[in-house]
Structure 1
C-alpha cells in the first residue's frame, strides 16, 4: 500500500525534467508503518541518461525488481541511449522476478516441478489449476512499478503491472499504489499537463499526493525528488512540502465553507 507519482515537466530552455513523489508507508501484514526509508529508487544517473522509479506491492518483489533491472541494463548495454533497449529491460526484469517467485512460492510449495512447457497440462487439470490460479494471480498483481527516464533532455514515463508496460509519457504522469485513484482524480481535474513548468507541476503533484492520503495504506510522510536534465537531482526540503500542505488544508477548508454558503443560499418551499 502506498502512493508513487512520477511527473514530467518542461523547463524554460525546452528541456524536460521529472518529479518523483512517494510516501514512506510500508505495510506489514495488516499494519502500516511509516519509516525513514525513501521509496524512490535511483537506477541510473549518467550524463545523458537518468532513470528513477517507485514500486508498490510486495516489498520483496520491489527490491528484487530494481536489483534485476540494474543487471538487465548492464547485460543489454551499459550505458545505453536506446529507449527500446530500456523498455525491454523494464519488462524483462519484471517477468523474471514474477516467474522466479511463482517457481518457488507456488510450484515449490505444492511440490510441483516448474516447467513452462507444461503449463497447458497444469491449467487443464482442475485440481492443480484451482490450487495455483489464485496464488499466481496474487503474486502477479502484487508488483506495480512506475519509472521516469531522462534521455537526451527528453522525459519518458512508464508503468509496469501484471507483465504489461504502459507508456504514460503523453499524459505526463504515472501512478502506483493504493492511492492511485485519488491522485489520478486530482491531477485530471486540476488540469495537469506535461508542458507545465516545475513549480506548477510540483504544486499539482503534491496536491495529488495529499489527496491520496485519504486512501488506505498511504502515509503522510512525503519524499520529493526533482530530476533535471543537467546537474544533480534535488531532494525537496520538508519545510517546503509542509508549507504546501498547510495551504492545501486551507484550500480544502475554504471550499467546505463555500459549499455551506451555497447550501444555505438555496430557498426551498
Structure 2
C-alpha cells in the first residue's frame, strides 16, 4: 500500500486531498498543527469507512516538531511515496473595525513577511528536507507543493490577467519564493524517479479566504491528487493551475 503525508490536512483542501487519496488506496498520514483537530479529522474519515489514516502532529515552523513527525512516521513505515506540502497562510490582517488591511509593498512590515514566509516557504523546506530520506526509498516518489497562481510573476505582470489588480506583496511573493524552491528541488532530483511540481488548487471557497472563493474543495483536491499520482512519464519541475489553463494546466512562473 502506498503512503502519503499531507501537512495542514485537518480541514479544507488538505482534508479533502486526504479523503481522495484514501479512496485511491493510500495509507495517509494526516498532518495537523493541533493534534486534537487532526484526531477529529481522522474520526470523520473513519466514519466514512476510510480507515487507513492516522493523525500526525506537526508545526511546520518548529524544527523540533518537524523532526518528531519524521521520527513518528519513520517508526510506522520505511517508505513514503507522496509528500504534499499543503500548510499555508495568507497573512491577512484586519483593523479594529474588521476591515482588511492591504498587503502593500510600501507599507507592510517585515514582521508580517516573516510570519508568512515561516510557514509558506521555510516550513515547506523544513518538511521536504526532513522527509527526503523516506521518499528516496519509494519506487515513484512524488512531491506536490500547494502553490497559487497568485505566485506567478509572469501573470501578475500582465494587465490582462483576471487577478492583476488583486495584489498582495506578502502572500504573492511567498508563493513565488515557494515556486523557485520547487524549480531548484526538481532540478536537483532530475536524474531520479522523483516528480516535483507546484500546483495551484484554484480560487477555492474555504476559510482561508473567508469563503470568497468560487471553486469547490472537491475540485481543488482532484487537482492536487492528479499530480500526486502522476506517472513516470509525467512532468516534473512545472507549475500547474487548471483554473487558469483548463487545456494543459501548465501556467508560467
Query: TM-score normalised to the size of structure 1?
Result: 0.27
Q: Which has the larger share of strand?
A: 1
> Comparing both chains, which one has the higher relative contact order based on Cα–Cα distances under 8 Å and sequence gaps of 6 or more?
1
Q: TM-score, normalised by structure 2?
A: 0.29
Structure with max Cα Rg: 1
